[in-house]
């Protein structure tokens, strides 16, 4: 007959530790070897899989939205995580599960679990409308917002908080880098995990006519403005020329025969000498010739001096635009010189804001890598109508509201200081 230990005794020992007492009472014989002290990889895997299984069942049975909590609630959760770590360290430091919580084995299993989720994100297309029902039910199409990521993040945060307190209470000089890096990671994960539902992002299209945008929101009150695109400034890098195969266009362009007009004005290809005579930017074609004109749909053109053993001649080459076709200069029946599309060098837009009282604010200029603040939003310039170039009829803006910005920067700052300290320490 199998003997069972008193369940209350087992639970008490598990919760508050005192393995020595377990040993004295000879209770180990009632425990499966897998759960013997100290818990290792297998126990960590089983526990995390159990948490995930419960999360999946909850998600499947009754989907819960984790987006209903506010930024304030999330800050309280972050505070509770910090406090929980302290309580766990002070009260439960002799418990079996405490040893597991601060163990290397759990850290590695957590990292592997995170990597597994990343691989799932590579397999299942995220935020796609075209996923099957079971993928959506299991939230595999939105893994970063799923309950099982929430559970894993909560466990990692509790672990980080506990190990940080453990090091702080037993602080030596060696723990400096550890505390900095782990506090940094705790804050970064908190900003990504809890902040995911607080951060608002909107991609908006601003055209040349006024359209309404909400720039501030306080409870039920909205501050709305009208916004329109006034001007757009675009500069290009000098165009490049390339030798292309005219008969077999599938051959593509050999990078050996691509050159920038700016750095190289002549090129020798087989028995052909190619020299740049005149570059026109912007240009439009009129009866076979190109002229420097800045007009709608303008293009870029270059006049080449082409010479071979048989002849010398001039020819125009253009990369074309929405209105004008591209033009190549043939060298022989196999090869021609073509002009590649120029790459944008800089672009910036000028926006006009009209407030409800009719007042028009000074114009706002936005450039790539230089976002501006508009009400509660940080506004980024991300795109424009490339076919229309500097005469674009719209710009695409990314409007981001991120209350976790400061916390994220503190976390990243601690990580950077920790990494630099690690460098100095090790080097």
Partner 1 sequence: MITIFQITLLIVLLFWIFGSILFFFESKRAWSIALILLGQFILTALIVIYWIKIERPPLRTMGETRLWYTWFLASIALWLYYRKTFRYILPMGLALALVFLVVNLLNPELLNKALMPALQSVWFIPHVIVYLVAYALLSLVWLMAVFQLFKTRSNKNQLDTELNRILKIGFAFLSLGLVFGALWAKTAWGHYWTWDPKETWALITWAAYLIIIHYQDRYQTRTQTILWLIVVSFVLLLICWFGVQYLPSAQMSVHTYSG
Chain contacts with partner 1 (rule: CB under 8 A) = 104, 107-108, 111-112, 114-115, 118, 121-122, 126, 144, 181, 192, 201, 237-238, 240, 255-256, 258-260, 262-264, 343-347, 367-369, 371, 378, 380, 382, 398-400, 408, 412, 415-416, 419-420, 422-423, 426-427
Contact 168, 190 (CB under 8 A): no
Contact 124, 147 (CB under 8 A): no
Least distance (Å) between residue 286 CB and partner 1: 29
What are 377's strand-pairing partners?
Answer: 374
Between 22 and 267, name the residue whose CB sits nearer to partner 1.
Answer: 267
Least distance (Å) between residue 135 CB and partner 1: 17
Between 31 and 245, name the residue whose CB sits nearer to partner 1.
Answer: 245
Between 48 and 284, name the residue whose CB sits nearer to partner 1.
Answer: 48
Between 15 and 372, name the residue whose CB sits nearer to partner 1.
Answer: 372
Between 66 and 400, name the residue whose CB sits nearer to partner 1.
Answer: 400
- What number of H helices and E strands is found in the chain? 10, 17
Encode 75-90: b = buried (16+ Cβ within 10 Å), e = exposed.
beebeebbebbbebbe
What are 216's strand-pairing partners?
Answer: 223
What are 272's strand-pairing partners?
Answer: 269
Least distance (Å) between residue 382 CB and partner 1: 6
Between 58 and 400, name the residue whose CB sits nearer to partner 1.
Answer: 400
Between 62 and 426, name the residue whose CB sits nearer to partner 1.
Answer: 426
Copy the structure tokens of residue 77. Answer: 């959760």
Q: How many CB atoms lie within 10 A of CB 162?
A: 22
Report how far apart, in Å, the C-alpha atoms of 277 and of each of 263, 267, 288, 327 are: 14, 12, 16, 16
Least distance (Å) between residue 193 CB and partner 1: 12
Least distance (Å) between residue 54 CB and partner 1: 25
Contact 242, 257 (CB under 8 A): yes
User: Running DSSP on this structure, what letter comes out for residue 79?
Assistant: H
Query: How far is residue 229's CA from residue 234's CA, in Å, rounded to a whole number?
Result: 14
Least distance (Å) between residue 398 CB and partner 1: 5
35 CB-near residues (< 8 Å, 6+ apart): 43
Least distance (Å) between residue 329 CB and partner 1: 20
- DSSP secondary structure string for all residues of 260-299: ETTT-SEEEETTEEEEEEEEEEEEEEETTEEE----TT-E
């Amino acid at each position: 007959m199998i003997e069972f230990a008193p369940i209350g005794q087992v639970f008490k020992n598990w919760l508050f530790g005192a393995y020595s007492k377990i040993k004295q009472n000879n209770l180990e014989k009632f425990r499966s070897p897998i759960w013997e002290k100290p818990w290792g990889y297998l126990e960590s895997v089983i526990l995390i899989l159990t948490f995930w299984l419960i999360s999946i069942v909850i998600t499947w049975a009754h989907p819960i939205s984790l987006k209903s909590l506010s930024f304030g609630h999330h800050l309280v959760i972050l505070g509770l995580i910090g406090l929980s770590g302290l309580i766990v360290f002070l009260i439960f430091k002799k418990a079996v599960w405490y040893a597991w919580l601060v163990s290397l084995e759990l850290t590695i299993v957590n990292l592997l679990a995170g990597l597994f989720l990343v691989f799932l994100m590579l397999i299942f297309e995220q935020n796609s409308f075209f996923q099957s029902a079971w993928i959506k039910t299991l939230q595999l199409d939105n893994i970063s917002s799923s309950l099982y990521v929430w559970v894993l993040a909560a466990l990692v945060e509790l672990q980080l908080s506990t190990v940080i307190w453990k090091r702080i209470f037993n602080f030596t000089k060696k723990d400096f880098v550890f505390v900095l890096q782990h506090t940094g990671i705790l804050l970064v994960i908190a900003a990504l995990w809890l902040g995911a539902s607080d951060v608002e992002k909107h991609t908006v299209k601003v055209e040349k006519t006024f359209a309404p945008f909400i720039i501030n929101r306080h409870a039920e009150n909205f501050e709305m403005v009208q916004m329109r695109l006034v001007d757009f400034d675009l500069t290009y890098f000098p165009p490049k020329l390339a030798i292309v195969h005219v008969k077999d266009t599938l051959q593509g362009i050999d990078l050996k025969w691509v050159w920038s007009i700016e750095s190289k004005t002549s090129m020798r290809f087989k028995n052909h000498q190619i020299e740049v005579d005149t570059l026109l930017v912007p240009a439009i074609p009129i009866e076979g010739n190109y002229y420097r004109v800045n007009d709608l749909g303008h293009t870029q053109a270059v006049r080449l001096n082409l010479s071979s053993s048989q002849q010398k001649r001039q020819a125009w080459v253009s990369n074309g635009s929405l209105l004008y076709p591209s033009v190549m200069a043939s060298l022989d029946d196999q090869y021609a010189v073509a002009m590649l599309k120029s790459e944008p060098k800089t672009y910036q837009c000028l926006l006009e804001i009209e407030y409800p009282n009719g007042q028009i604010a000074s114009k706002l200029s936005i450039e790539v890598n230089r976002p501006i603040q508009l009400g509660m939003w940080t506004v980024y310039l991300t795109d424009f109508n490339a076919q229309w170039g500097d005469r674009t009829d719209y710009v695409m803006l990314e409007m981001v509201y991120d209350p976790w910005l400061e916390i994220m920067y503190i976390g990243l700052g601690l990580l950077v200081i920790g990494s630099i300290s690690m460098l100095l320490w090790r080097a």
